[in-house]
Amino acid sequence: MESSELLIEGKVSDLPWISRGVSGLVAKVSDSVALIRILQSFWGRMMITSALCYIHSHRVLQVDIGAHNVLLDWDDNVKLADFAGASLDGSEPQILCGIRAEHPAFPSSERPTVKTEIFSLGSLLYELETTRQPYHDKTDDEVEMLYCAGNFPDTGDLLLGQVITKCWMMEYKDAGDVLNDIKCIKGRSTVQMRKSHFILVLSLALVIYLARVRSLPRL
């Protein structure tokens, strides 16, 4: 694979076709609200995970996984970018992974594996949902110490919190398992939304009915 190509969902796209990028989520939230909304959606996060599934199936490890290497085309399809330093077919990577995107005991920058990639995916999913990197208020040294001790940011209130934590704990075998869990959460969320919508409609109908009953003249 040439470095001038990007892989996503089983497709190869020429670099000039890529038109929009999201880098530094916190800094660009104000002027990239639409892009952030797409990436924070189930669809956006599923496309990112699907992209990893695809490149891993071709023995490609991106290593430098993060919001800075996620792009959107004009049709709002997610694209992974910058494979110049990636590990191809077991080769040594020529790029460093961000401190918050790798476990110090399993440095993706030195010995990348599918599981180290999934760890990085967990940090990316966390950033997309919170608009902040893990432990954004701590120094790199503090982050390494926390990671080494098995202490990760609390994800209890996040929609994909369980998935993110499992990524950090390296409990997934491959990105396909991550994708399946995201799909399951999406399914449960959709059912819950439909139930909530039904209850809301029923409540409004009841309010309207009672209002009409009360407005009727009494005999």
The whole-number pLDDT of residue 39 equals 63
Residue 79 has pLDDT above 90, yes or no: no
Averaged over 139-166, what is the pLDDT? Answer: 96
Per-residue confidence band for 34, with pLDDT thresholds at 50, 70 and 90: low
CA atoms of 161 and 153, how far apart (whole Å): 10
CA atoms of 129 and 156, how far apart (whole Å): 12
Please say whether the beta carbons of 97 and 87 come within 8 A.
no
Q: Which long-range contacts (CB under 8 A, 24 or more apart) does 188-191 make?
A: 189/42, 189/159
Averaged over 27-50, what is the pLDDT? Answer: 67
Give this prediction's pTM: 0.73
Q: How many CB atoms lie within 10 A of CB 113?
A: 14
- With CA atoms as reference, report the closest residue to 152 among 170, 166, 165: 165
Phi, psi of 107, rounded to the nearest 5 degrees: -65, 115
Least confident among 26-35, 164-173, 186-195, 208-217: 26-35
Residue 205 has pLDDT above 80, yes or no: no
Q: b/e string for 23-57 if b means 16 or more Cβ within 10 A?
A: eebeebeeebeebbebbbebebbbbbbbbbbbbbe
The whole-number pLDDT of residue 152 equals 97
Averaged over 156-181, what is the pLDDT? Answer: 96
Please say whether the beta carbons of 20 and 35 come within 8 A.
yes
The domain tally of the chain equals: 1
Containing domain of residue 36, as a range?
5-215
Percent of the chain with pLDDT strictly greater than 70: 74
Q: Which amino acid is at 213?
A: V
Find the CATH number of the domain harbouring 79: 1.10.510.10
The whole-number pLDDT of residue 63 equals 94
Between residues 200 and 134, the one the model is more confident about: 134
The whole-number pLDDT of residue 142 equals 97
